[in-house]
């Protein structure tokens, strides 16, 4: 079993990096894998496709371990947004009064854009589970919103701002009890929180791989579809979703791949897949439960220090370990400037409006010194009013 803490396996910038929940650091293995594939392109040209042809499928066993799924139920492909559209095109089948879509008021906007485009097509409603405190969801509100008028429920495993972790087994069972299908956006949990999507019975899930999976900016994401749907014809079809053995027969007849590869559309981005291929090496042999336990140790410390030393900040992440993911979120009206002042000190946090600093200590390359360092720096920045001198900063990251 390799040790979890292995900063030497990553390109770690000077300072403290706590933004692995937005863009994970580059594993050297990712760079090596891209270089290897580039070299194949240089030396083999089109003959390289003999190997690249099955590259996405070759990553399924490793992704399946992290998703708690069977290898045939997952595939590395697309982006969260594109995969959501592909899955809604397949599974959103409004019938009679069961026609509406359900998400949450706290979802990442792209999920809502995707869902609303399907609601609009059908003249249906996109219903949103409200939040009482603007940060988290109350179980009673989730339960009340799941009714027999809902065709599909989409929930985030971890809420992107507050970091609240939802119980996949519980809400999957609740959705099924009401006759709804349920999908999960696992952007903020894949690679950070162990999943059992198959045993929990979730219908589908989507994720990206540029966050905790460390596969680089714009790396292909992934999806999971429970094997009970294995025969369903994808609502969006392309030649890469054809059965591999007949894909190159070119006889104009689509034969669905037997596995989740059926949801692929066109030619995969081999060079970015190579980065994912290399990045997943970091996870090889790592026990997801052990990774999670270490992540909780670091976020426990961060929560304790923040509560003790940063009283002006509101901790908007739920305290119980079973209710939070891999990051801790602190809200304060001046946090945009605090985040810029931290960057000026080579400490990289993550910032989201309104006033939310997200901090994610990653067990692979962060330790207690980083956690203590960021809290101490924030105390100094506030006490010295250093943050008041910070400018507007970037609107992007």
Ligand X SMILES: Cc1ncc(COP(=O)(O)O)c(C=O)c1O
**Residue with smaller CB distance to ligand X, 113 or 254:** 113
**Residue with smaller CB distance to ligand X, 188 or 226:** 188
In the complex, least distance from residue 360 CB atom to ligand X, rounded to whole angstroms: 12
Site for ligand X (CB under 6 A): how many residues?
13
**Residue with smaller CB distance to ligand X, 80 or 103:** 80
Q: Of residues 45-64, which lie at the interface with ligand X (CB under 6 A)?
A: none
Instruction: Check binding of 178 to ligand X (CB under 6 A).
Output: no
In the complex, least distance from residue 155 CB atom to ligand X, rounded to whole angstroms: 11
Residue pair 240/255 in contact by the 8 Å Cβ criterion: no
Active site positions, annotated = 108, 185, 210-211, 358
Angle in degrees, CA 177, 182, 184, rounded to 5 = 140
Q: Of residues 270-299, which lie at the interface with ligand X (CB under 6 A)?
A: none
Half-sphere exposure of 172 (CA within 13 A, CB side): 19
Name which of 287, 276, 289 is nearest 59 in CA terms.
276
- The radius of gyration computed from the CA coordinates of the chain, to the nearest angstrom, equals 21
Instruction: Check binding of 19 to ligand X (CB under 6 A).
Output: no
Between the CA of residue 68 and those of 260, 311, 323, 375, 387, what are the distances in Å?
Answer: 14, 39, 19, 34, 43
Instruction: Check binding of 309 to ligand X (CB under 6 A).
Output: no
- DSSP letter for 352, please: E
Between the CA of residue 38 and those of 34, 266, 348, what are the distances in Å?
Answer: 6, 20, 31
Q: Report the alpha-carbon distance of residue 63 to residue 66 in Å, rounded.
A: 5
In the complex, least distance from residue 106 CB atom to ligand X, rounded to whole angstroms: 10
Instruction: Check binding of 156 to ligand X (CB under 6 A).
Output: yes
- Strands of the sheet containing 100-104, edge to edge, are 74-76, 222-225, 204-207, 181-185, 150-156, 100-104, 126-129
In the complex, least distance from residue 210 CB atom to ligand X, rounded to whole angstroms: 7
Instruction: Check binding of 104 to ligand X (CB under 6 A).
Output: no
Instruction: Check binding of 208 to ligand X (CB under 6 A).
Output: yes
In the complex, least distance from residue 123 CB atom to ligand X, rounded to whole angstroms: 26
Residue pair 9/293 in contact by the 8 Å Cβ criterion: no
Instruction: Check binding of 261 to ligand X (CB under 6 A).
Output: no
129: tokens are 């589970």
Instruction: Check binding of 370 to ligand X (CB under 6 A).
Output: no
Q: Which stretch binds ligand X (CB under 6 A): 45-53, 183-191, 271-279, 329-337?
A: 183-191
Residue pair 349/378 in contact by the 8 Å Cβ criterion: no
Q: Report the alpha-carbon distance of residue 225 to residue 371 in Å, rounded.
A: 37
From candidates 221, 261, 318, 355, binder to ligand X by CB under 6 A: 221
Instruction: Check binding of 187 to ligand X (CB under 6 A).
Output: yes
From candidates 6, 32, 110, 147, binder to ligand X by CB under 6 A: 110
Q: Of residues 111-130, which lie at the interface with ligand X (CB under 6 A)?
A: 111
Q: Which stretch binds ligand X (CB under 6 A): 105-113, 131-139, 275-283, 386-394?
A: 105-113
In the complex, least distance from residue 319 CB atom to ligand X, rounded to whole angstroms: 22
Instruction: Check binding of 183 to ligand X (CB under 6 A).
Output: no
In degrees and rounded to multiples of 5, residue 56 shows phi and psi of -60, -50
Q: What are 266-269's contacts with CB under 8 Å, separation 24+?
A: 266/238, 266/239, 266/240, 267/240, 268/52, 268/55, 268/56, 268/76, 268/77, 268/220, 268/240, 269/220
**Residue with smaller CB distance to ligand X, 94 or 221:** 221
> To 10 degrees, what angle do helices 28-44 and 270-279 make?
140
Here's the x/- map for ligand X, 79-98, by CB under 6 A: it reads as xxx-----------------
From candidates 10, 108, 212, 364, binder to ligand X by CB under 6 A: 108
CB-CB neighbours of 11 under 10 Å: 13
**Residue with smaller CB distance to ligand X, 79 or 242:** 79
Using CB under 6 A, list all residues that contact ligand X. Answer: 79-81, 108, 110-111, 156, 160, 185, 187-188, 208, 221
């Amino acid at each position: 079993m390799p040790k979890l803490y292995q900063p030497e396996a990553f390109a770690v910038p000077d300072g403290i990096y706590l933004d692995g929940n937005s863009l994970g650091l580059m594993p050297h293995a990712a760079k090596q894998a891209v270089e290897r594939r580039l070299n194949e392109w240089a030396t083999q040209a089109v003959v390289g496709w003999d190997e690249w042809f099955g590259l996405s499928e070759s990553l399924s066993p490793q992704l399946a371990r992290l998703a708690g799924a069977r290898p045939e139920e997952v595939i590395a492909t697309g982006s969260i947004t594109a995969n959501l559209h592909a899955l809604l095109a397949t599974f959103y089948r409004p019938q009679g009064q069961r026609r509406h879509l359900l998400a949450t008021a706290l979802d990442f906007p792209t999920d809502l854009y995707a869902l609303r485009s399907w609601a609009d097509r059908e003249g249906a409603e996109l219903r949103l589970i409200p939040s009482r405190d603007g940060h988290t969801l109350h179980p009673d509100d989730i339960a009340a919103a799941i009714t027999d008028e809902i065709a599909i429920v989409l929930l985030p495993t971890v809420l992107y701002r507050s970091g609240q972790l939802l119980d996949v087994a519980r809400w999957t069972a609740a959705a099924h009890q009401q006759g709804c299908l349920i999908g999960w956006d696992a952007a903020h949990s894949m690679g950070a929180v162990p999943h059992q999507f198959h045993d929990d019975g979730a219908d589908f899930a989507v994720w990206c791989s540029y966050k905790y999976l460390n596969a680089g900016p714009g790396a292909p994401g992934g999806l999971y579809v429970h094997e009970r749907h294995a025969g369903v014809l994808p609502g969006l079809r392309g030649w890469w979703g054809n059965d591999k053995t007949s894909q190159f027969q070119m006889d104009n007849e689509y034969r669905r791949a037997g596995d989740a590869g059926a949801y692929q559309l066109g030619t995969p981005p081999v060079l970015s897949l190579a980065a994912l291929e290399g990045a997943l090496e970091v996870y090889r042999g790592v026990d997801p439960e052990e990774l999670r336990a270490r992540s909780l140790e670091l976020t426990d410390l961060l929560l304790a220090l923040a509560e003790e030393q940063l009283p002006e900040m509101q901790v908007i992440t739920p305290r119980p370990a079973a209710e939070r993911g891999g990051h801790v979120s602190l809200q304060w009206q001046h946090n945009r400037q605090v985040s810029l002042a931290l960057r000026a000190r080579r400490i990289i946090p993550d910032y989201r409006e309104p006033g939310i600093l997200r901090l994610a200590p990653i067990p692979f390359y962060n330790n207690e010194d980083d956690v203590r360092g960021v809290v101490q720096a924030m105390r100094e920045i506030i006490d010295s009013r250093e943050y008041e001198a910070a400018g507007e900063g970037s609107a992007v990251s």
